[in-house]
Structure formats: structure tokens, C-alpha cells
Amino acid sequence: MAERQTVAVLGAGGTMGYAMAGNLARAGFAVRAWNRTRERAEPLAGDGAIVCDSPAEAAQGADVLLTMLSDGDAVIDAVDGERGAFARIGDGVLWLQTSTIGEASTERCVELARRAGAGLVDAPVLGTKQPAEAGELVVLASGAEALRSRAQPLFDVVGKRTLWLGEAGQGTLLKLVVNSWIVAVVEGGAETLALAEGLGVEPARFFEAIEGSALDLPYLRVKGRAMAERDFTPSFRLALAAKDARLAEEAAERRGLDLPALATIRDRLEQAVPQHGDEDLAATYLTSAPARART
């Protein structure tokens, strides 16, 4: 790194944002961190980050703005709301938008970046808590080719692999596709294990039957183990998975696609949110087998 760049991380107290901010600080970037609940970001000071009271304060003097927030409204408020980051950014700042916010909100970000003179890279990431902490996310980057050399050194810190996909917005579209597969695998696994247990079949026997075949999926095994052990410690919160399923469904509806399985899964996840939204996505199992929930 030729010179020390300053990175404003907005959403630095969340599971993903905290890990990304910490990795950037330890890699030598000057990190200015903001989180709506300040206390969650304060431990980053131990890595040399400056914890700020507002997005505008965090953006003061920043070369790069990185957003990792829960949804599109939170992102747009952090950059363009009262005390938002755009009040303090200089012309030409690089904006790495890594949150999963869907197609419509990404289009709003493209327009906001144009008005503010910021270079937007739409770059949602694949991975949960553990790969985020290890700097092993997969970055789905899209934006102007001229921004690539500026963005890549940061992506190399937070991720193990970067896919460059074309103009801004393409990263979000691929993330919607991947997320539709994630929720399908987990919901399918939840109903399969609920059926197995309801029939008196040990879940371990199911996994033994598919072991080594084309039906065997590592992610299914991870979530299936969580269901079998009733350990729903969150690595990907169910509430966020429901939001992501809704965003994928909205993108499908825009194009007149008929995807009834996706709609059903989205509805199923939303049913579980009031009771289990802060637990892991695997807790969708509890909707399928409420009588066996914690046994």
C-alpha cells in the first residue's frame, strides 16, 4: 500500500461490518468506524480504529466509504440522511457498498453516488461470521473498470476471492441468485429433518444415506447439525434470510417470473421471524416441527 488510506466503515458493529473493519485496521488502513449502537463498535479501538458518533463524522477525510448495514433503507439513511456520510465526503471518494439490499435500493445508490460525485462499487459478499473474521469472504464486485484498482486492495483484505461482474448492480443480482439457493437448501433440509424425526428416523441416518453422493452438500450438513442439536447460535440471522428471500422474490416479480417455491420459502421464513428472527436461519426448522422444537 503506497500510502495509508482512510476508510469509513458504516455498520461497524454488526457481525460482518465489525469483522471487516477489524481486518482493515489490522492490515494498515486508517479506519473510522460508525455503528448505530456505538457500544458494539467500540472494541475496534483496540485495533486502532477511531469510533465515531455519526456517519458524517466517520466520513470526514475518508478516501473510501464502506457500507455494511442490514437493508437498503439503513444504507441510504447512513449516506444521505441527516448527519449522513455524504455531508462530509470529498469528490471522487470510493464507495464500496457491501450490504445485501436488493435491486431497487442498489439503483437508488447508483443515483446517489452519481449526484455526490462518488465512485460506486456494488459489492455484496458471500459468507457469514467465521469467514468474515478470517478475511475469507467472496466479494461479488461490480462497477466501473476504472475503480477496480482502487477497490481490489480492500477486497483482498476482507475476502479470499473477488468476482468482477460488470457494471454496478450486477453484484447485487448474483447475490440474489445465490441467496435464493441458500434459503432453498436450508428450508428443504429443515422439512426433510422434520419428516425424518416425525417418522422416528435418526437424522444421522439420512446423512449416512446421502454421504459421498451428488445429494450430499456441506452447507446442508452444517445447518442440519444445528437443527439436530437444536443449536441456533446465529451465523446468518433468520430475519436477514427472510429479508433476502423477499428481495429475490421482488427481483423475480419485476421480470414476470413465476417462482412459487421461492415465494413459499419467503413466507415460511417470515412466519418464524417474530419468535426466532435473531436466531440462525436453521431455526426455520422450529416452524416445521414445533412439537419437537427443543427436545
Task: For 156-199, write each residue's pLDDT tens digit.
Answer: 999 999 999 999 999 999 999 999 999 999 999 999 999 999 99
What pLDDT is recorded for position 289? 86
Q: Which of 217, 137, 229, 230 is nearest to 184 (CA)?
A: 217
Find the mean pLDDT for residues 204-221.
96
Tell me which DSSP letter residue 280 carries.
B
In whole numbers, what is the pLDDT of the chain averaged over residues? 95
What pLDDT is recorded for position 290? 74
Confidence of residue 295 (pLDDT cuts 50, 70, 90): low
pLDDT, one tens digit per residue, over 227-237 is 999 999 999 99
Q: What is the separation, in whole angstroms, between the first and last Cα of the chain?
A: 53
Cβ distance 274 to 239 under 8 Å? no
The residue whose grid cell reads 458471500 is: 126
Confidence of residue 249 (pLDDT cuts 50, 70, 90): very high
What are the beta bridge partners of residue 141? 164
User: Following DSSP, what letter does each residue of 33-92 receive, concatenated?
Assistant: EE-SSHHHHGGGGGGTPEE-SSHHHHHTT-SEEEE--SSHHHHHHHHHSTT-GGGTPPTT
Residue 144 three-state SS: coil
- Give the predicted TM-score (pTM) of the model: 0.94
Q: Which helix (H) or strand (E) holds 152?
A: helix 148-158
Cβ distance 118 to 95 under 8 Å? yes
Percentage of residues in the chain having pLDDT higher than 90: 95
Q: What is the CA radius of gyration of the chain?
A: 20
What pLDDT is recorded for position 264? 98
Q: Which long-range contacts (CB under 8 A, 24 or more apart) does 3-7 make?
A: 4/28, 4/29, 4/30, 5/29, 5/30, 5/63, 5/64, 6/30, 6/31, 6/32, 6/61, 6/62, 6/63, 6/64, 7/31, 7/32, 7/62, 7/63, 7/64, 7/65, 7/66, 7/154
CATH class of 173-292: mainly alpha
pLDDT at 294 over 60: no
Q: Which helix (H) or strand (E) holds 220?
A: helix 218-229
pLDDT at 293 over 60: no
Strands 137-143, 94-97: parallel, antiparallel or unpaired by DSSP? unpaired
pLDDT, one tens digit per residue, over 123-133 is 999 999 999 99
Q: Which long-range contacts (CB under 8 A, 24 or more apart) does 210-217 make?
A: 217/185
pLDDT, one tens digit per residue, over 61-118 is 999 999 999 999 999 999 999 999 999 998 899 999 999 999 999 999 999 999 999 9
Q: Indicate the CATH number for domain 6-167.
A: 3.40.50.720
Cβ distance 66 to 10 under 8 Å? yes
Q: Provide the CA 104 distance to its chain's centre, in angstroms.
A: 17
Q: Report domain extents, the chain.
A: 6-167, 173-292
Confidence of residue 3 (pLDDT cuts 50, 70, 90): confident
- Give 76's contacts (C-beta < 8 A, 6+ positions apart): 105, 108, 109, 112
CA-based torsion, 109, 243, 247, 174: positive or negative: positive
What pLDDT is recorded for position 1? 43
